[in-house]
Amino acid sequence: MSVFAHPFARASGVGSWPGTAARGAAEVVVGELAGALAHIVELPARGVGADLLGRAGALLVDVAIDTVPRGYRIAARPGAVTRRAVSLLDEDTDALEEAWETAGLRGAGRVVKVQAPGPITLAAGLELANGHRAITDPGAVRDLAASLAEGVAAHRASLARRLDTPVVVQFDEPSLPAALGGQLTGVTALSPVAALDDAVAQGLLDACVATVGADVLLHSCAPALPWDLLQRSAIGGVSVDAGILRAKDLDGIAAFVESGRTVA
């Protein structure tokens, strides 16, 4: 049975947290959510390497990132940005472990969640050396997804050992609807970003789920989620912002839930 259907998984957090204090945030998360679904916090207010895409810099295997005026790009070798991302994730992980130990939860069987950008959002957000979105290069998309999945799997396994508890994964996919709908902007009006094929997107998600080797939740705060795609996928649960749901989403949600999975 998926842990998302487990009775103690009644509440969680998306991941992002205000402020810059990892230890204080971890203490609050463990204190409030240890009986539900606690998680590693993201503190984007710390700047470069601490936001959704920056966190990927700490997780990608054999792929480095750097900053550009519009955000992040794939780099030839690890530099200050990648090292900072790794350092921040280490800080957040240490803070959660300390709070977990202090609360006496080691070995208690409480499930913990880790978050990472999903493969589509990652490819949509990272730039290639030529300035174009990585999602415009099918080879780059496949390589990024494989690197991400391997890194997230290692991160999940490491945290499970450190906390002696089950760990599940949340892939954040705010760019998924835009990528499928051909709504991502290009470098110029003369270089549009083609819509990502549904089958390709599903293949990327399913490959990541298979590599992670644990229950995987997809979270998106964007409207017009592709419920048919998600129902066909190996994703175990979907987390959405209730404020963006429309009547047309209800049939998709119902079908997803009827397949034995969870919508939160």
Sheet holding 64-68, edge to edge: 64-68, 71-75, 126-127
Q: Over pLDDT 70: what percentage of the chain?
A: 95
Segment 149-165, tens digit of pLDDT = 999 999 999 999 999 99
Where in the sequence is the domain holding 130, given as residue range(s)?
3-263
Record the pTM: 0.94
**Helices (H), strands (E): how many in the chain?**
9, 9
pLDDT at 8 over 50: no
SS (H, E, C) 9-35: CCCCCCCECCCCCHHHHHHHHHHHHCC
| DSSP 8-state secondary structure symbol assigned to residue 114 | E
Q: How confident is the model at residue 44 (pLDDT cuts 50, 70, 90)?
A: very high
Segment 76-102, tens digit of pLDDT = 999 999 999 999 999 999 999 999 999
3-state helix, strand, coil split of the chain in percent (to 5) is 45, 15, 40
Q: What is the pLDDT of residue 9?
A: 44
Q: Quick one: tokens of 201? A: 């997107």
- Which residues are CB-contacts of 250 (< 8 A; sequence separation ≥ 6)? none
3-state SS class at 59: helix
pLDDT at 125 over 50: yes
Segment 170-226, tens digit of pLDDT = 999 999 999 999 999 999 888 899 999 999 999 999 999 999 999 999 999 999 999
Q: What is the pLDDT of residue 188?
A: 87
pLDDT at 7 over 80: no
CB-CB contact of 99 with 152 (8 Å): no
Q: How many domains is the chain built from? A: 1
Q: How confident is the model at residue 59 (pLDDT cuts 50, 70, 90)?
A: very high
Q: Which string of DSSP letters, residue by residue, matches 181-209?
A: TT----SSTTSPPPPPPHHHHHHHHHHHH
**Amino acid type, 225:** L
| DSSP 8-state secondary structure symbol assigned to residue 132 | S
Residue 163, burial from CB neighbour count under 10 angstroms (0-12, 13-18, 19+)? buried
Q: What is the pLDDT of residue 3?
A: 55
pLDDT at 5 over 60: no
Q: What is the pLDDT of residue 11?
A: 58
- Give the whole-angstrom CA distance, residue 65 versus residue 81: 7
pLDDT at 4 over 70: no
- Give the whole-angstrom CA distance, residue 182 versus residue 228: 18
- Give the whole-angstrom CA distance, residue 259 versus residue 90: 37
Q: How confident is the model at residue 35 (pLDDT cuts 50, 70, 90)?
A: confident
Among 7-11, 65-69, 81-85, 236-240, the minimum mean pLDDT is found in 7-11
